[in-house]
A and B are shown apart, each in its own frame.
Chain A
Amino acid sequence: MEFEATIGLEVHCQLGTNTKLFCGCTTLFAQEPNSQTCPVCLGHPGTLPVLNKKVFEYAVKAGLAIGCDIQKFSKFDRKNYYYPDLPKAYQITQFDKPFALKGGIEINIKGNKRVVKLERIQIEEDAGKLIHTADGSLVDLNRAGTPLIEIVSDPDMSTSEEAYQYLVNLKKILKYNEVSDCEMQEGSLRCDANISVKPIGQKELGTKVEVKNLNSFRYVQAAIDYEIVRQIQDIQNGNKISQETRLWDVDNGVTEPMRSKEGAHDYRFFPEPDLPPLILTDKEIEKIKSTVAEPPLKRKERFISELKLSEYDASILTEEKPIADYFENALKEFNKPKEIANWISNDISSYLNEKKIGIDQFPVSIENMTSLWKLIDDGTINKKIAKEKVFPLLVESNKNPSEIIESEGLAGKNDSDEIRKWVEEAMAKNQKAVDDLKNGKDKAKGSIVGMVMKASKGLANPQIVNKIIDDIINS
C-alpha cells in the first residue's frame, strides 16, 4: 500500500517590541534570571494586564503581510494548565476569535508555484524558562509574558521540502516587515510540526503526531522525514499510531515520545475578563496596510522581469530587505543593475561577512559607492584597481572616491601615446606572443596585456591597451 503524508506547522514568532505583552518589563535576551519581571508577569494576585499597543500593530501588520483576513473583532481567552513556567496557571491567548484568519505562504517546488493555506494567527504570551537540575527545576520568568504570534497553517503540505520552503518564506516575510528578528537561536522563532500519514487517496486524515523541539528549519525537515517513515512502518507492522507529542532528538536524529506532563489536555478555555475585546476599523487596517513591505518573492520577480537580472542575482539581492533597499537606492544613482548586483554579491558581501555586520552597518554611503561605480564606468579608473585598491580605502574612510583616487595616484592611464609605448616595450620582449597573435592565436594577447598592466602598475586602461595591440598586429 502506498502512503501520503499530511503536514501542518505551528510557528511561534516573538514580536520585536521593547516590552512584554501585558506589562512594561523589557524583553532582552540572556539577562540575569528573573531580572525582567514585575507583579504582572510573575502572576501575582490582583494585578491587571494591559495590552501593548505595538504588539497589536505588529501582529496586524504580520497578518496583512501574510494575506490574512484581519478580524475587526477579536478577543483574548485563558488557556488553563498547571506548569511551573506559567505563574498564573493560565496562558492568555486567543481561542475562538483570533485577530487574523486564512492567508497563505507561497512556495515553489521545482517550478510549481502554489500557496500553502493558513488557518489563523493568534496573539499570545510566552511562558517562562525551566532549567532541570539533579534535585529540582529552576524557574526563570524573564520570558514569561513575552509577546508572540502563533501562525497556524492548514494541514496543507505533504513533503518536508514544502514545509522547509514554507518556513523560509514565512520567516522572510516576517523579517521584511520588521515585526520580529526571527532569531531561532534566541527562541524568537519556534516551530512545531503536526504530521500524519494515510493511504493515498483516502479522504480521512491519519492520526496526527505533534513534534516539538525543532530549533532549526533543517531539523523540521529531518524530523518530518523521520516521522513519515516511522509512521508508515508502524502501520505496516500492524500497529496503531497513537496521538502523542514527540520530541526531536538532535543527537540521534530520531523522534521520541515526550513524557507527558498531565493526562489528556483539558484547557478549559474561557474569555479573559481582564482584557477588553479589540475592535479595528477599516481605516485603521488600511493605515497599517500602507506600512506592509513589498513581498520578497514579488520583489524578486520584479528584479528579474523589470531589471533583467538573473534568478540567482535576484535571489541574493532579495534575501534580506536591507540589501534589496540598498540595491534599489543605489540604482537611483547608477542605473546599471547587473553591475550593482555583482558588487553587492561579491565585494560588499565579502566585506560584510568578514566584519560580521549587516548592510545597514556598511560604512560606505550610497553616494560614495555609486560615485566609484560611475568613475569606473566613465573610464577614470580601472575596475581591478577600484576593487583592489580603492574599495578597501573606501570602507575604511567613506571618503569621496575621487579624493582617494587623486591622493593615491590611482587614476587610470588613458593616454594612447603612453600606452602605445608600454605595448611596444612588451611586444619587444615577447616575440613569441607577437608571432602567435599574427597567426590568429588570440589567447596570446593575454600575456602582452599582462606585461603592460605590470609596467603601468595596473593603471593602463585595458580597453585602450587591447585596441592598440590590435592596431599594431593588424597594421
Chain B
Amino acid sequence: MENDAFDNVEKLSRLKFSENEKNTYQKSFNNILQYVEQLAEINTDGIEPLIQVSEIYNVFREDLPINSIGVDAALQNAPTKEGSAFKVPKVIK
C-alpha cells in the first residue's frame, strides 16, 4: 500500500497516527493485503462473485411493533446528553 492510500484510510477511519505508528501499521497493512492478494492467483473466470456463504435467502420478520427500550436506556451509555437527545460536538459550523 502506497503512502497516499494509507493516509486515506487513516482519514476515513478518523484516526491519527504518529510517524512511528504509521510505519508499523503500514507494514502490517501491507502484510495483510499481500496475504489476501494470494486469492488473485486463482482463476475465477465465469464464476459469479460470492455474496454470502450461508445459502440462506428471504429471512423476514412480520411488521409487528416490539417495545422500544425507552429513552433512559437508550441514553445510558451516552457520554453527553441534553434532554432526551444524545449530544455530540458540533458538526456544522
What residues of chain A lie closer than 8 Å to B80, measured between beta carbons?
Answer: 136
Please tell me if B61 contacts chain A, counting CB pairs below 8 Å: yes
- Which residue of the partner chain, among A19, A137, A141, A277, contacts B91 with CB atoms under 8 Å? A137
Please tell me if A25 contacts chain B, counting CB pairs below 8 Å: yes
Please tell me if B46 contacts chain A, counting CB pairs below 8 Å: no
How far, in whole Å, are A266 and B89 apart by their CA atoms in the complex? 23
Please tell me if A295 contacts chain B, counting CB pairs below 8 Å: no
B69 touches A33 (CB 8 A): no
What residues of chain A lie closer than 8 Å to B47, measured between beta carbons?
Answer: none
Please tell me if A261 contacts chain B, counting CB pairs below 8 Å: yes
Residues A15-32 near B (CB distance < 8 A) = 17-19, 23-26, 32
How far, in whole Å, are A277 and B52 apart by their CA atoms in the complex? 8
- Residue interface mask B65-93, A partner, CB < 8 A = 1: 11111110011000010111111111111
Please tell me if B11 contacts chain A, counting CB pairs below 8 Å: yes
Please tell me if B64 contacts chain A, counting CB pairs below 8 Å: yes
How far, in whole Å, are A135 and B91 apart by their CA atoms in the complex? 10
Please tell me if B40 contacts chain A, counting CB pairs below 8 Å: no
* Prevailing SS type, chain B contact patch: loop
What residues of chain A lie closer than 8 Å to B35, measured between beta carbons?
Answer: none
A37 touches B74 (CB 8 A): yes
Distance from B22 Cβ to chain A, minimum over Cβ atoms (Å): 19
A residues contacting the other copy or chain, number (CB 8 A):
51
- Most B CB within 10 A of own CB, among A23, A34, A35, A37: A34
Please tell me if B44 contacts chain A, counting CB pairs below 8 Å: no
What residues of chain A lie closer than 8 Å to B32, measured between beta carbons?
Answer: none
B92 touches A259 (CB 8 A): yes
Please tell me if B14 contacts chain A, counting CB pairs below 8 Å: yes
- Most A CB within 10 A of own CB, among B56, B87, B93: B87
How far, in whole Å, are A380 and B41 apart by their CA atoms in the complex? 91
Given contacts A18-B63, A53-B62, A75-B51, contact A34 B91 (CB under 8 A): no
What residues of chain B lie closer than 8 Å to A17, measured between beta carbons?
Answer: 63
Given contacts A25-B68, A37-B74, A278-B58, contact A137 B88 (CB under 8 A): yes
Given contacts A25-B68, A136-B88, contact A141 B61 (CB under 8 A): no
Closest-by-CB residue of A relative to B69 is A38
What residues of chain A lie closer than 8 Å to B61, measured between beta carbons?
Answer: 24, 50-53
What residues of chain B lie closer than 8 Å to A83, measured between beta carbons?
Answer: 91
Please tell me if B39 contacts chain A, counting CB pairs below 8 Å: no
How far, in whole Å, are A80 and B86 apart by their CA atoms in the complex? 21
Residues A221-269 near B (CB distance < 8 A) = 259, 261, 263, 266, 268
Please tell me if A54 contacts chain B, counting CB pairs below 8 Å: yes
- Most A CB within 10 A of own CB, among B14, B58, B68, B91: B68
- Most B CB within 10 A of own CB, among A39, A42, A133, A268: A42
Closest-by-CB residue of B relative to A28 is B65
Distance from A191 Cβ to chain B, minimum over Cβ atoms (Å): 22
Given contacts A42-B74, A84-B91, contact A138 B83 (CB under 8 A): yes
Given contacts A18-B64, A137-B88, contact A278 B8 (CB under 8 A): no
Given contacts A33-B84, A276-B52, contact A141 B65 (CB under 8 A): no
- Which residue of the partner chain, among A35, A37, A268, contacts B12 with CB atoms under 8 Å? A268
Closest-by-CB residue of A relative to B75 is A34
Distance from A126 Cβ to chain B, minimum over Cβ atoms (Å): 16
B14 touches A82 (CB 8 A): yes
Closest-by-CB residue of B relative to A261 is B91
Please tell me if B59 contacts chain A, counting CB pairs below 8 Å: yes
Distance from B34 Cβ to chain A, minimum over Cβ atoms (Å): 20
Closest-by-CB residue of B relative to A264 is B8
What residues of chain A lie closer than 8 Å to B14, measured between beta carbons?
Answer: 82
How far, in whole Å, are A261 and B74 apart by their CA atoms in the complex? 26
Please tell me if A184 contacts chain B, counting CB pairs below 8 Å: no
B65 touches A19 (CB 8 A): yes
Distance from B20 Cβ to chain A, minimum over Cβ atoms (Å): 25
B64 touches A19 (CB 8 A): yes
What residues of chain A lie closer than 8 Å to B54, measured between beta carbons?
Answer: 276
Please tell me if A113 contacts chain B, counting CB pairs below 8 Å: no
Given contacts A132-B90, A261-B91, A268-B12, contact A33 B66 (CB under 8 A): no
- Which residue of the partner chain, among A25, A136, A141, A275, contacts B66 with CB atoms under 8 Å? A25
Q: List 8 A-B contacts (CB under 8 A).
A: A24-B66, A33-B85, A34-B85, A52-B63, A54-B62, A136-B87, A141-B86, A266-B8
Binding site for B on A (CB under 8 A): 17-19, 23-26, 32-39, 42, 50-56, 75, 80, 82-84, 130-133, 135-141, 259, 261, 263, 266, 268, 271, 273, 275-279
Task: With A52-B60, A131-B85, A140-B85 given, name 11 new contacts (CB 8 A).
Answer: A18-B64, A24-B66, A32-B71, A34-B71, A38-B68, A39-B69, A50-B59, A53-B60, A132-B92, A136-B90, A278-B57
| Minimum-distance CB pairs A-B, first 6 | A24-B66, A54-B63, A53-B60, A138-B85, A139-B86, A33-B84
